């Protein structure tokens, strides 16, 4: 019996059955059903090294993306990559090399694409990297100021969901809590507990109120249907009403927070003549003032948890709802108490709040990057288009580097970036784009040199997740397709040509690296007072379960129990409701306290007929991974990604279920298949991310024909503090598509020529 793992679960492989989830997984991921079919879809696989024809002829990017490729032998591909790296370093320096590789890639510790690329380029003299994530960039910058901890520290110390189920009476979830997004975990997961946990909450009497433009995945949750992008206003109004009724916890505010007087003055309208009352918020949020006041009363009368989903801050001014939610929880004064207070990310990924021991398993050493330059991850297109331009980030004025070579491994920016039509233009600016890729993604089709890589099913590795109670030996299930090699082998060949093979490999084959990881893991286990089996036994058995893995955490417990001996690492040692440092940055889009700032685009001032676009994570794949798999393909409508719309909105536009529709705005247009549901507001539509980008010219119009929402989203930072993405701030128009359907090109490789001579 062989085991393997992915970000969406752990699996047993049997020849007669294929992959199936572990028997004790209470809610196996739907995504896993499409994994094997996606990996074995040879029409979508990169089968051999190829080089773009125009690049070979010296066009330096001008021919991207509409160009043929030329198949070349591995030795020539390696030589071309090595020679181009040397050219760029010699002429422009290592600061002209951008190591992208943002993306989830493999769940294995060794074949982690980003680690492999960074280790390789550090041996070569360094690279420009990226900072932060598309998932929660605003939070990553903001939390160190508010709580003195990183986003990772916050997630690691989140109050246990077991404690919430036992003690919480009212769980107010902004952005909801979804088993759909909880299918996934970076570094892999052996089980999925969120749906079961939500059932236990209901059975135990915890009231779950989901504040979202879409109904919660959980049937028993109360749905508070809010106008998208207005959560901050609702949070401020709830806080105002609690204070106005005299129920704020002054003892907590005075001892555990700083900046309350300044924030209270803003709430009361003393600074702008606008009290943040329920009446004020009602017009913004489309929630009645009566309902807001009632909810405020319920919050202070019960043991309450204020929960915020990651997706809430992927919007214009995304820092504000996080900060306002923390302020609301502070006014209630239940932070640090059993099962109550503040949380960020329940259901956004599996391990947030998981009551298991946190163990810092080892990873592949990457070395040190001599190049200090970086960009915020979501400013990719800005960097490529505006070399030398200045921008603000986290209190600094920075300069975009002049990138001549992009090296990307294990990721697809033409999935996760916003305004893909703009990125398409920016992507032509570098001299050279090099990719390792197993499939013909949009990024691969826009590269100059594409080196065929294996999928996780075609190599051995180890799943080591810091918050999972199991370690999984990921056995090779499939033979490599075509001429595919794993990233380590590819980099080894290039490093050999560049003269630093031993520095990169340390003389080790893959098996030796896996043994080294296991030996270092045994040292970590010993520090936690348990032992690991020897490597051969682990490899043969495939699974190791950590003994006594249970560990119940509570966010900021030590601080609340004794703030003098366990202060927060903030400017005041306390939770900062008004932050002097941020205020000192003098940013109009992120002041020194939580504030309602109207989004750049919203239903508040929308033209007639416009709808708000919700572009959340899909149910059938991880981002864009497995989109060519059977599970994702079976979910599509006439080959297009389904878009969810309220029946009333569809009727007003003369649309019926199963229609193909055109979504459009000033940034672009795409086709999608119509699916109707009353579980979404009539002024919204929901189109999941991850449909493979397939732009074509149809009747003279630029049109994405597959259903990728990022042709419609805005490529702008949520503020000059964090520069995070604002994927959830976008308006669109929807109309019937009454012309012949364009054929999809995504499931077929580009034209590949045989090398001449």
Q: What is the pLDDT of residues 189-203, one digit of tens each?
A: 999 998 888 888 888
Q: Which CATH number fits domain 137-355+556-585: 2.60.40.10, 3.10.450.40, 3.40.630.10, 3.40.228.10?
A: 3.40.228.10
Task: Provide mean pLDDT across the span 285-304.
Answer: 97
Q: Where are the alpha helices (DSSP H) in 20-96?
A: 35-39, 53-56, 74-92
DSSP character string of 349-384? BTTTT--B-------------S---EEEGGGHHHHH
Helix (H) or strand (E) holding 515: helix 510-527
- Quick: pLDDT tens for 430-471: 999 999 999 999 999 999 999 999 999 999 999 999 999 999
Which residues, in sequence order, are CB contacts of 559 under 8 Å at separation 6+? 256, 336, 566, 567, 568
Q: How far apart are CA 226 and CA 237, in angstroms?
A: 13
Domain ranges of the chain: 1-40, 46-132+366-464+476-507, 137-355+556-585, 603-736
Percent of the chain with pLDDT over 70: 100
What pLDDT score was predicted for residue 757? 62
pLDDT bracket for residue 508 (50, 70, 90): very high
What pLDDT score was predicted for residue 63? 87
pLDDT bracket for residue 392 (50, 70, 90): very high
Q: How far apart are CA 294 and CA 535, in angstroms?
A: 59
Task: Provide mean pLDDT across the span 389-408.
Answer: 98
What tokens appear for 604 in the block? 């508040």
pLDDT bracket for residue 637 (50, 70, 90): very high
**Three-state DSSP state, 605:** helix
HSE of 685 in the Cβ direction (CA atoms, 13 Å)? 33
Which residues, in sequence order, are CB contacts of 325 under 8 Å at separation 6+? 174, 231, 235, 306, 308, 342
Q: How far apart are CA 393 and CA 736, in angstroms?
A: 42
Which residues, in sequence order, are CB contacts of 195 under 8 Å at separation 6+? 26, 27, 179, 182, 217, 218
Topology (CATH level 3) of domain 46-132+366-464+476-507: Rossmann fold (3.40.50)
Task: Provide mean pLDDT across the span 119-143.
Answer: 97
What pLDDT score was predicted for residue 755? 86
Beta strands 207-212 and 543-545, pairing class:
unpaired
In the predicted structure, residue 182 carries a pLDDT above the cut 80: yes
In the predicted structure, residue 25 carries a pLDDT above the cut 70: yes
Task: Provide mean pLDDT across the span 518-546.
Answer: 97
What pLDDT score was predicted for residue 548? 85
Longest Cα pair distance anywhere in the chain, in angstroms? 85
Measuring CA to CA, which residue among 460, 447, 528 is closest to residue 489? Answer: 460
Helix (H) or strand (E) holding 409: strand 405-409
In the predicted structure, residue 552 carries a pLDDT above the cut 90: no
Q: Which CATH number fits domain 603-736: 3.90.1150.10, 3.40.50.300, 2.40.40.20, 3.40.50.150?
A: 2.40.40.20
Percent of the chain with pLDDT over 90: 91
Which residues are annotated as catalytic? 102, 104
What pLDDT score was predicted for residue 747? 79
pLDDT bracket for residue 588 (50, 70, 90): very high
ω before 153 within 30° of 0 (cis)? no
Q: How far apart are CA 480 and CA 483, in angstroms?
A: 7
Which residues, in sequence order, are CB contacts of 456 under 8 Å at separation 6+? 4, 6, 106, 107, 108, 111, 474
Spatial contact of 407 and 98, defined as CB atoms under 8 Å apart: yes
pLDDT bracket for residue 105 (50, 70, 90): confident
From residue 697, how far is each of 66, 663, 704 by CA, in Å?
A: 12, 15, 8
In the predicted structure, residue 400 carries a pLDDT above the cut 80: yes
What pLDDT score was predicted for residue 96? 98
Helix (H) or strand (E) holding 99: strand 97-99
- Quick: pLDDT tens for 473-494: 999 999 999 999 999 999 999 9
Task: Provide mean pLDDT across the span 712-732.
Answer: 98
What pLDDT score was predicted for residue 329? 98
What's the per-residue H, E or C state across 294-350?
A: HHHHHHHHCCEEEEECHHHHCCCCCHHHHHHHHHHHHHHCCCCCCCCEEEECECCEC
Task: Provide mean pLDDT across the span 508-513.
Answer: 98
What pLDDT score was predicted for residue 346? 95
Measuring CA to CA, which residue among 182, 222, 173 is closest to residue 202? Answer: 222
In the predicted structure, residue 740 carries a pLDDT above the cut 70: yes
């Amino acid at each position: 019996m062989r085991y393997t793992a992915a970000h969406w679960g752990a699996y047993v492989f049997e020849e007669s059955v294929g992959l199936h989830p572990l028997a004790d997984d209470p809610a196996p991921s739907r995504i896993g059903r499409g994994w094997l079919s996606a990996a074995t879809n040879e029409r979508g696989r990169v089968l051999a090294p190829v080089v773009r024809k125009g690049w070979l002829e010296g066009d330096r990017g001008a021919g991207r993306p509409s160009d043929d490729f030329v198949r070349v032998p591995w030795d020539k591909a390696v030589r071309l990559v090595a020679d181009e790296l040397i050219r760029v370093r010699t002429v422009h320096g290592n600061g002209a090399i951008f190591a992208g590789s943002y993306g989830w890639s493999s769940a294995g510790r060794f074949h982690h694409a980003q680690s492999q690329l960074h280790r390789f380029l550090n041996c070569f003299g360094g690279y420009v990297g990226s900072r932060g994530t598309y998932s929660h960039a605003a939070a990553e910058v903001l939390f160190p100021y508010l709580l003195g901890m990183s986003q990772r520290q916050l997630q690691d110390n989140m109050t246990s969901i077991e404690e919430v189920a036992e003690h919480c009476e009212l769980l107010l979830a902004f952005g909801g809590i979804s088993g759909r997004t909880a299918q996934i975990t970076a570094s892999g997961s052996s089980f999925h507990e969120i749906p079961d946990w939500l059932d236990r909450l209901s059975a135990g009497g915890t009231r779950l109120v989901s504040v979202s433009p879409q109904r919660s995945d959980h049937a028993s949750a109360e749905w508070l249907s809010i106008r998208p992008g207005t959560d901050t206003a609702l949070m401020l109004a709830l806080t105002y009403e609690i204070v106005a009724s005299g129920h704020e916890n002054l003892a907590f505010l005075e001892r555990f927070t700083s900046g309350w007087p300044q924030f209270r003055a803003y709430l009361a309208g003393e600074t702008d003549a606008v009290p943040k009352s329920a009446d004020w918020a009602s017009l913004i949020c489309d929630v009645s003032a009566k309902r807001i006041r009632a909810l405020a009363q319920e919050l202070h009368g019960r043991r309450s948890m204020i929960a915020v989903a990651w997706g809430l801050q992927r919007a214009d001014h995304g820092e504000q709802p996080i900060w306002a939610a923390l302020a609301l929880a502070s006014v209630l004064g239940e932070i640090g108490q059993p099962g109550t207070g503040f949380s960020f990310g329940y259901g956004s990924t599996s391990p947030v709040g998981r009551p298991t021991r946190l163990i810092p398993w080892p990873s592949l050493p990457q070395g040190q990057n001599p190049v200090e330059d970086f960009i915020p991850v979501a400013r990719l297109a800005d960097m490529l288009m505006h070399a030398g331009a200045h921008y603000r980030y986290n209190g600094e004025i920075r300069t975009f580097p002049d990138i001549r070579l992009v090296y990307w491994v294990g990721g697809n920016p033409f999935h996760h970036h916003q305004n893909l039509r703009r990125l398409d233009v920016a992507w032509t600016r570098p001299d050279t784009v090099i990719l390792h890729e197993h499939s013909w993604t949009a990024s691969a089709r826009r590269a100059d040199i594409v080196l065929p890589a294996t999928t996780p099913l075609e190599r051995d590795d180890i799943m080591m997740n810091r918050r999972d109670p199991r370690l999984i030996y990921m056995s090779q299930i499939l033979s490599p397709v075509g001429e595919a090699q794993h990233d380590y082998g590819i980099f080894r060949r290039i490093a050999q040509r560049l003269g630093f093979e031993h520095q990169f490999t340390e003389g080790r084959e893959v098996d030796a690296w896996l043994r080294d990881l296991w030996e270092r893991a045994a040292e970590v286990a010993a520090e936690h007072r348990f032992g690991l089996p020897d490597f051969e036994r682990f490899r043969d058995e495939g699974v190791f379960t950590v003994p006594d893995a249970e560990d119940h955490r509570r966010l900021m417990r030590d601080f609340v129990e004794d703030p003098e001996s366990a202060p927060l690492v903030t400017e005041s040692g306390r939770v900062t409701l008004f932050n002097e440092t941020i205020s000192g940055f003098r940013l109009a889009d992120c002041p020194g306290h939580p504030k309602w700032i109207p989004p750049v685009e919203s239903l508040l001032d929308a033209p007639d007929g416009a709808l708000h676009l919700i572009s959340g994570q899909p149910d059938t794949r991880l981002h864009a991974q497995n989109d060519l798999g059977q599970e994702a393909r079976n979910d599509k409508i006439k080959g297009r990604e389904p878009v969810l719309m309220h029946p009333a909105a569809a009727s007003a536009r003369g649309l019926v279920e199963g229609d193909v529709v055109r979504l459009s705005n000033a940034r672009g247009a795409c086709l999608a298949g119509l699916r109707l549901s009353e579980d979404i507001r009539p002024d919204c539509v929901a189109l999941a991310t991850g449909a493979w980008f397939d732009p074509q010219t149809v009747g003279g119009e630029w049109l994405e024909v597959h259903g990728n929402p990022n042709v419609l989203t805005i490529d702008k930072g949520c503020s000059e503090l964090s520069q995070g993405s604002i994927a959830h701030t976008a308006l669109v128009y929807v109309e019937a598509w009454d012309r012949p359907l364009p054929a999809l090109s995504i499931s077929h490789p580009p034209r590949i020529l045989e090398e001449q001579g």
